[in-house]
Amino acid sequence: MRFTEGYWLRSQRMQEHYAAQVWETEHLEDGMRLLVPLRKVPTKGDTVNVPCLTVTFRAVAPDTVSVKIVHFEGYNTHKPAFSILEDPQRVEIAETEDTIVMETGSLCVRVDKKDFGYSFEKDGTVITRCGFRNLGYMEWDRQPSTMLPGDHYLDETRMKPYIVNELSLEAGECIYGFGERFTSFVKNGQSVQTWNEDGGTASSIAYKCIPFYMTSRGYGVLVNHSGNVEFEAASEKVGYTGFSVQDEAMEYLFFYGPSLKKVLSRYTELTGRPALPPAWSFGLWLSTSFTTSYDEKTTSSFIQGMKDREIPLSVFHYDCYWMREFRLCDFDWDQRLFPDPEGMIRRNHEKGVKVCVWMNPYIAQNTALFHEAMENGYLLMRADGKGVWQTDNWEYGMGIVDFTNPDAYRWFQEKLRALCRMGIDCFKTDFGERIPVNVRYHNGADPVAMHNYYTLIYNRCVFEVLEEEKGKGNAVLFARSATVGSQQFPVHWGGDCMATYPSMAETLRGGLSLAMSGFAFWSHDISGFESTATPDLYKRWAAFGLLSSHSRLHGAGSYRVPWAFDEESCEVVKYFTGLKCALMPYLYQLAVNAHNTGIPLMRPMILEFMDDPAVRWLDMQYMLGGSLLTAPVFSEDGTVDYYLPQGIWTDFFTGETKQGGKWYNGRYDYLHLPLYVRENTLLPVGSCRTRPDYAYEQDLEIRWYQPAEEGRAQVEIVNQDGQRAALVHARKDRNRIFVSVEGSLPGLSFRVPGQEQLQIKIEQC
């Protein structure tokens, strides 16, 4: 929200009140509470008719401080609250006439009492500060009230209240995050609203809006507010990041790293770590596509076609029209097209293929399910009291399930449970963004604040069913919408992109921004959703998609099987699917690490190389874990510009080495792209190229890339259940390599690419 018109002028729609001084302090065990008048108060006699804020600083976790700013404490809009798993810390507070200093861990909060302001500091160095006119209470569009008899007698409600806070930025400091944003990866200069909406991937509108950002100075900020949070990221004031909420109170959490990985770890520790997806979900998913005509014969031919071409297929997805037209979502198979769904699912399983079906929480009027839900009060109601809220926007007369009603929540789960017992392995939880605000919820929650929050309880509802029916560790979604905490229910995909190279690039930007917002697992529609890709684009996007966390062939209007493009597309999809399967010992260990720490698989370069200023703006290449760097091809001529950070990098395909700290350019055929291995990497490569879920610990090859003289390295090997199978240590001593294995790795082989003359000794501990 912009409250100014240029730097000097305030908007005439605004009556501003800025924090002026600290009048009173209260020391708490885990923080401090300050009474902050919104104008200077010279004497006790000047304290009447003075609005104040209560500002509370609390150490809610190691190196994490909550800042809560309150105007009217009695203001209650029944907003849903994100679950924050606090671990309060004791603090030390020192107060003088002019300042208050609160220390917690390595973080210090310093408050100026005379001219209100505060700073977050580390070892005497300011990380960021809130100073002159950076904290305020704004009355927007205030209408006059009266002290005379009348409709507006002492009416304090005739305006929109806002709390605004701004934190300073240093020269060259870059801002990242805010969810899956398809605009520039570095958010400086952008105005960002965290309001989920179905807007595709080609605009500032986003499906997954997260009121959390990080900066290149090693800190992060979460505005703990489930409604719309408006950010001015070096936009309204270019030296500050501002954030505001329409409310009488605001809380934000400040996370200090100093590494961005540590910030993400702290953030996900408080808001929820991701569940570990099953190993089979990392394989190739194939969809029926949307708005296409298909039946069991069609889908069976796709599965058989993949088998005939020896393309490993892990999951087959049935999109919208597994149900009848005008009857979404009643969860009944269209018997005209699928007369024996149980048998079909069983036959797919016999071919080694898992089954996913599309769904959403919108129920068309033309279904028995709608009438059952309406009669039992399971749908969102109109705010004017005139019955169920309905729309024709998507499905005729549809209503929306009210997940705040415990009975509706369980009822919806029972419908999904029946599908699970039929043999369905997972669900694509589509939509969840088009949630109206002119409605009434069963629990009385504020409908505006519920707009984003809805997706959290929707996807949790579905995920719980899968965990109960399939077992923990075997549950996975394919979700589109998200908010704070949704990272607990993977996987999320990037929504409706176009079949163009620019859209492929904006898709990657969205994924990298989502990774900087606490989401570890992410996918996208290979070759684009809207329109149909050229064979050239299809092959380039397939390589990118199969070097992503999760990989799905999906689109609208045409089938996305590779032979529909050309036979070379079949070879490309087969090759990169096989490569991903072979990399699963590495990838699944990253998944386990993400489950435990919140660090994503696909990592923006800044996340891995914070100290390299050259990587701050890079958004057309990324790290896959800490050891593999890849740069997708975004051009028809196959050329790529890419940057290698300091060190020696080895081309995964050719074994050629390159010195880092430089830019490179190359031209690539369809079976290659820049894929480089970081020096001193122990890379486990599996023995299987035909499926993602196998015994990673058997017949494993470990490659040690560019070990330093007298260097050391280690790598953990997990099995397909995510449990540690072994820990491998390697040590180089001149021309000899000593390898020790804690655990069992039958059939282990070990080599040093480019240095095959080295003597290798392996010891099983």
In sequence order, which residues have a C-beta less than 8 Å from that of residue 380 and are 6 or more positions away? 388, 389, 399, 400, 401, 402, 436, 439, 440, 441
Look at residues 678, 675, 668, 661 and name the one whose alpha carbon lies nearest to residue 634: 668
Active site residues: 430, 433, 496
Rounded CA-CA distance 236/218 in Å is 23
**DSSP bridge pairs for 551:** 284
**Cβ-proximal residues to 220 (8 Å cutoff; 6+ apart), any chain:** 177, 212, 213, 214, 254, 255, 257, 260, 263, 264, 266, 267
SS3 103: strand
CA 127 to chain CA centroid, nearest Å = 25
Q: Note whether 429 and 479 are within 8 A (CB).
A: yes
Q: What are the tokens at 103?
A: 């220390």
Burial 681-711 (b: 16+ CB within 10 A, else e): bbbbbbbbbbbbbbbbbbebbbbbbbbeeee
Closest CA to 281 of 12, 548, 665: 548
Strand order of the β-sheet with 190-193 is 14-18, 135-140, 160-168, 240-245, 230-233, 190-193
d(CA 231, CA 24): 30
Pairwise CA distance, residues 239 & 173, whole Å: 9
* Cβ burial 345-363 (10 Å sphere, 16+ → b, else e): beebeeebbbbbbbbbbbb
Helix, strand, coil % (nearest 5) of the chain? 20, 30, 45
CB atoms within 10 A of CB 417: 15
Tell me phi and psi for residue 569, to 5 degrees: -60, -35
Q: What's the chain's Rg over C-alpha atoms? A: 28
First-to-last alpha carbon distance for the chain, in angstroms, is 61
Q: Which residue has the tokens 């770890």?
A: 265
Instruction: Report whether the peptide linkage leading into residue 62 is cis, meaning its omega lies within 30 degrees of zero.
Output: no
Instruction: Cis check for the bond before 329: say yes or no (omega within 30 of 0).
Output: yes
Q: Compute the distance between CA of residue 646 and CA of residue 53 in angstroms, rounded to an integer.
A: 49
Give yes or no for a contact between 163 and 71, defined as CB atoms under 8 angstroms apart.
yes
Sign of CA dihedral 63, 276, 685, 583: negative
Q: Among candidates 733, 625, 632, 747, which has minimal Cα distance to 686? A: 747
Cis preceding linkage at 491, omega within 30: yes
CB 585, CB 696: distance < 8 Å: yes
- CA–centroid distance for 294 within its chain: 32
b/e burial code for range 459-498 (CB count within 10 A of at least 16 → b): bbbbbebbeebbeebbbbbbbbbbbbbbbbbbbbbbbbbb
Q: Rounded to 5 degrees, what angle do the CA atoms 273, 715, 576 make?
A: 80
Q: Residue written as tokens 């905490």?
A: 485
In this structure, the dihedral spanned by the alpha carbons of residues 469, 475, 481 and 485, taken in order and rounded to 10 degrees, is 100
**Nearest 5°: CA angle at 127, between 123 and 130?**
125
